[in-house]
């Protein structure tokens, strides 16, 4: 790292920001959305010239879904990228860890995005890749009203915050996945019980019925189970022919 007059200040700044994030993380107590929101707020407070910050999922290179945001602007820019099918989150950030757009209005890579984002008041922006998993990507985006607002120092601070955001998102994914797996087992178990009682089936036969309906209707086993538990009827039974 090149030493500069501001380096000491940067470190001091970073140290403060990190302890603030840590404190907020503790206060939010595991609430992932809260953690992500805290990170966006810290980014705005810490990264020089950052005006807004958003953390988003990019799905299949065509949809940008906001997860947490310091204000309205990040959500509007996400929506813009989804609608236009172009912008830094949809291509550049898949290949690079950080994408810096110094003059959004003049950027020729995404002409329509450039025009509309500038109209929303975005002068410059930085996108940080948080993770890539299959066709999903996590991104943290920083915005400033002025062109050329971000430099190497802002990028360095942004990278550290992006690290925290990536950890928080990974935790959220893990929890969701566990919850889904357990929920679907519970529901399938309960649906089996309903079928066993009503049609005098064994557990294996009941599972067979669910599996067959799932196959015939091309729907997930857990979805069939939910519907059965809620309505008491085997989904798709009425539509089945012959």
Are the CB atoms for 67 and 33 separated by under 8 Å?
Answer: yes
> Which of 16, 97, 112, 177 forms a contact with another protein (CB under 8 A)?
177
Stretch that binds another protein, among 37-45, 130-138, 152-160, 197-205 (CB under 8 A): 197-205
Q: Quick check: 194 binds another protein (CB under 8 A)?
A: yes
CA–CA gap between residue 151 and residue 48 (Å, rounded): 9
> Which of 7, 112, 151, 197 forms a contact with another protein (CB under 8 A)?
197
Nearest to 191 by CA among 168, 209, 175, 172: 209
Residue 159 CB, nearest distance to another protein (Å)? 23
Q: How many CB atoms lie within 10 A of CB 241?
A: 3
- 211-237 as b/e: b if 16+ CB within 10 A: eebbeebeeebbebbbbbeeeeebbbe
Total site size for another protein, rule CB under 8 A: 30
CA–CA gap between residue 99 and residue 142 (Å, rounded): 10
User: CB-wise, 3 or 133, nearer to another protein?
Assistant: 133
Q: Quick check: 33 binds another protein (CB under 8 A)?
A: no
In the region spanning residues 41 to 80, those forming contacts with another protein, defined by CB under 8 A, are: none
> Which of 9, 27, 152, 183 forms a contact with another protein (CB under 8 A)?
183
Question: Can you give the binding site for another protein, defined by CB under 8 A?
Answer: 29-30, 171, 174-175, 177-187, 189-198, 203, 221, 229, 232
């Amino acid at each position: 790292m090149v030493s500069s007059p501001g380096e000491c200040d940067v470190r001091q700044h970073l140290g403060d920001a990190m302890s603030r994030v840590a404190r907020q993380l503790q206060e939010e107590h595991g609430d992932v959305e809260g953690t992500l929101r805290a990170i966006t707020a810290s980014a705005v407070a810490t990264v020089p010239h950052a005006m807004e910050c958003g953390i988003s999922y990019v799905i299949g290179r065509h949809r940008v879904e906001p997860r947490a945001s310091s204000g309205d602007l990040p959500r509007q820019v996400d929506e813009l990228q989804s609608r236009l099918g172009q912008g830094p989150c949809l291509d550049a950030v898949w290949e690079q860890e950080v994408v810096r757009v110094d003059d959004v209005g003049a950027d020729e890579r995404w002409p329509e995005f450039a025009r509309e984002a500038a109209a929303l008041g975005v002068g410059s922006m930085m996108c940080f890749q948080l993770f890539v998993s299959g066709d999903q990507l996590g991104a943290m985006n920083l915005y400033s009203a002025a062109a050329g607002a971000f430099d190497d120092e802002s990028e360095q601070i942004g990278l550290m915050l992006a690290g925290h955001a990536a950890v928080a998102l990974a935790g959220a994914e893990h929890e969701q996945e566990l919850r889904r797996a357990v929920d679907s087992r519970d529901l399938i178990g309960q649906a089996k019980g309903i079928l066993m009682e009503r049609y005098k089936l064994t557990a294996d036969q009941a599972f067979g019925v669910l599996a067959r309906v799932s196959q015939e209707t091309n729907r997930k086993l857990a979805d069939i189970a939910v519907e059965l538990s809620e309505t008491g009827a085997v989904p798709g039974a009425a539509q089945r022919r012959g």
